[in-house]
Amino acid sequence: MITRTQYIQNKILSYEDAKRRIATWRMKGDKIVFTNGCFDILHKGHVSYLAQSAELGNRLIVALNTDASVKRQGKGDNRPVNDNDARAMVLASLGFVDLIVFFDDDTPFSVIKELQPDVLVKGADYDPQETDENSKKYIVGSDVVKKNGGEVIAIPLVEGFSTTSIIEKLGN
């Protein structure tokens, strides 16, 4: 019998292990949902977003930015607050998150191309219809998902919740 901690850790996988697990899910007919982000300090907005994402299919994959990838985003010298292992463990403890993979690139494009999700989800600050890759509203990987017959969906954000605002409150 595995412990609860092992159960959580078994959701955090390498690309190769993730591809095997996804293949098993596909054989069962599961619909694979994919999202990505830093998820530095988990808050109500994150949980709401991830729960709504999970409702769009049978399995939710979260691609998590590595620490180096977060630093390159220019969110501040103090980011990420939590390292990638800590962030992954917290995310994996959510019952509706089925799998976590790390990505070190500036975008999750290669992960999306590799894992081929049925549904790609981002927050409503992005636009599923945007085709200009230089636009801030463009959803990276949307072209790959749509070409394979998948869906690209934007989920409304919960107003008043952001990691940046939490960090600012802590500073005051």
**Can you tell me the mean pLDDT for 99-124?**
97
CB neighbourhood size of 107 (10 A):
15
pTM value is 0.93
Contact 99, 59 (CB under 8 A): yes
Could you tell me how many helices (H) and strands (E) the chain has, helices first?
8, 5
Q: How far is CA 9 from the centre of its chain?
A: 17
Distance from chain centroid for Cα 119: 12
Q: What percent of the chain has pLDDT over 90?
A: 85
Q: What would the pLDDT profile of 25-44 be if each residue is shown by its tens digit?
A: 999 999 999 999 999 989 99
Confidence bin at 164 (pLDDT 50/70/90): low
Rounded to an integer, the average pLDDT of 59-73 is: 95
- CATH architecture for the domain at 4-171: 3-Layer(aba) Sandwich (3.40)
pLDDT, residue 75, reads 78
Measured at the CA of 102, the angle between CA 131 and CA 169, to 5 degrees, comes to 85
Position 78 confidence tier, pLDDT thresholds 50, 70, 90? confident
Residue 79 pLDDT level (bands cut at 50, 70, 90)? confident
Angle CA 157–150–101, to nearest 5: 65
Burial 39-74 (b: 16+ CB within 10 A, else e): bbbbbebbbebbebbbebbebbbbbbbbbebbeeee
Cα dihedral 160, 119, 54, 91, rounded to 10, equals -70
pLDDT reported for residue 152 = 98
Each residue of 81-110: pLDDT tens digit?
A: 999 999 999 999 999 999 999 999 999 999
